């Protein structure tokens, strides 16, 4: 299905819009870098080493309710696992977009649990084995969920969970050698490509490892370069170009959607607001759906993070929102070493970093809301620390 969508979009492309769409993307990334570089630098809070020594020193003054953390994690894991298992049992396909709130809750509680556990229980410079041993509950159950997602063919949770586990270790414990990282990335790319090529066929991993391996090997042999292997990301030039053409031909659409964005973390509220404003569901207001309608493609398709903003708010929206996004990332980054809440949000951003280019830069809003809510329950600073901080000011 993915190959059919991509080929249909490529056939639909008017290449006279391609260079203009690329120029728009360059403008967006430069606005992001400008926002990141112009934000005020805090020398004392800049992340220099991955071990976060300042935050570890302060953790003694913070109460982390590990029992509550484990309880919330197990409940969210069981809920999302049963949901995915039910789809496997019935033979239906599943994707995180079908139950976004349930999956986002699990993802965010998982991040909070593994970060808090690492801060309290894993020493600086600990080995990968020690890191896994101290976080055995969270890593083992997440890998059970990963295996289930691999069988079903849903790669989103697989990528997110692995990035969260790896990102937590690299930021909070120690760096790994470049060769090890390169090898791990190469294996991950091949695995994700293999799942993409086989998940809708009789050779999917669900029907046996042997058939899956044989089919994936044959598909890899047909690819002439790594560019083709990463077609999920490189192929979004089609969505980018068609989306840009759509705006040139019909103008921006649904600009009042900006009112809905702050309410993404609240269940049912985005649906109510979209019905009230435009009498449409949130899915109908997505840039992916609008690109598909314009290109007359009968299947769901992806989008492009720049065009996702451009369709609704035009050139001013691209300039302002990407600049603001750069400022936000810089602010979070500069506070990693002394604010556990910023650390949690940063790890969450790492988890969704691969899919942001083919979705929306606004996708972090709902999981960030859940991170703030659940971390406020699990992490409680001691009163004495708060008083001393006020006195210092």
Q: Which of 204, 221, 222 is nearest to 213 (CA)?
A: 204
pLDDT score at 108: 95
Parts of the chain with a pLDDT under 50: 1, 44-45, 96-97, 200-204, 208, 384-393
Give the phi and the psi of residue 52 in degrees, each rounded to 5. 50, 60
In terms of Cα–Cα distance, which of 348, 340, 351 is closest to 368? 348
Model pLDDT for residues 71-116, shown as the tens digit of each residue:
999 999 999 988 888 766 655 555 544 566 788 899 999 999 999 9
**Short-list 106, 31, 58, 97, CA closest to 281:** 97
C-alpha to C-alpha distance for 271 and 191, rounded to whole angstroms: 35
Per-residue confidence (pLDDT) for residue 390, from 0 to 100: 42
* CA dist., res. 318 & res. 28, Å (int): 6
Structural tokens at position 109: 């509680």
For residues 204 and 207, what is the distance between their CA atoms, to the nearest angstrom?
6
Are the C-beta atoms of residues 347 and 367 closer than 8 Å to each other?
no
- The answer to whether 326 and 28 have CB atoms below 8 angstroms apart is no
Query: CA 322, CA 28: separation in Å to the nearest integer?
Result: 6
Token digits of residue 172: 């909070």
């Amino acid at each position: 299905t993915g190959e059919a969508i991509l080929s249909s979009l490529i056939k639909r492309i008017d290449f006279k819009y391609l260079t203009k769409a690329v120029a728009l993307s360059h403008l967006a990334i430069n606005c992001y870098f400008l926002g990141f570089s112009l934000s005020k630098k805090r020398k004392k809070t800049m992340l220099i080493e991955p071990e976060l020594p300042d935050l570890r020193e302060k953790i003694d003054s913070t109460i982390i309710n590990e029992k509550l953390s484990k309880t919330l994690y197990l409940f969210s894991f069981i809920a999302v696992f049963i949901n995915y298992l039910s789809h496997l049992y019935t033979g239906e396909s599943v994707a995180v977009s079908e139950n976004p709130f349930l999956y986002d809750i699990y993802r965010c509680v998982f991040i909070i649990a593994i970060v808090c556990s690492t801060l309290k229980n894993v020493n600086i410079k600990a080995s990968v084995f020690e890191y896994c041993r101290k976080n055995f509950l969270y890593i083992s159950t997440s890998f059970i969920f990963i295996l289930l997602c691999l069988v079903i063919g849903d790669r989103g949770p697989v990528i997110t969970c692995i990035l969260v586990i790896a990102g937590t270790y690299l930021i909070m414990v120690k760096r790994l050698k470049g060769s090890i990282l390169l090898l791990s990335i190469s294996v991950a790319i091949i695995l994700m490509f293999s799942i993409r090529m086989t998940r809708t066929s009789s050779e999917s991993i669900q029907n046996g490892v042997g058939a899956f391996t044989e089919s994936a090997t044959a598909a890899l042999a047909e690819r002439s370069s790594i560019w083709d292997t990463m077609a999920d990301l490189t192929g979004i030039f089609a969505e980018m170009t068609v989306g840009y053409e759509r705006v040139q031909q019909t103008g921006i659409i649904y600009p009042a959607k900006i009112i809905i964005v702050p309410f993404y973390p609240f269940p049912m509220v985005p649906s109510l607001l979209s019905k009230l404003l435009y009498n449409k569901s949130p899915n109908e207001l997505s840039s992916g759906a609008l690109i598909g309608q314009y290109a007359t493609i009968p299947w769901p398709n992806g989008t492009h993070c720049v065009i996702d903003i451009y369709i609704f708010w035009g050139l001013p929206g691209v300039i302002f929102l990407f600049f603001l996004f750069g400022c936000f990332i810089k602010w979070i980054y500069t506070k990693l070493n002394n604010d556990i809440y910023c650390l949690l949000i940063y790890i969450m951003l790492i988890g969704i970093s691969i899919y942001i280019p083919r979705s929306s830069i606004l996708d972090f809003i709902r999981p960030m809301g859940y991170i703030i809510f659940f971390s406020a329950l699990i992490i409680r600073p001691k009163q004495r620390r708060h008083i001393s901080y006020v006195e210092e000011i």
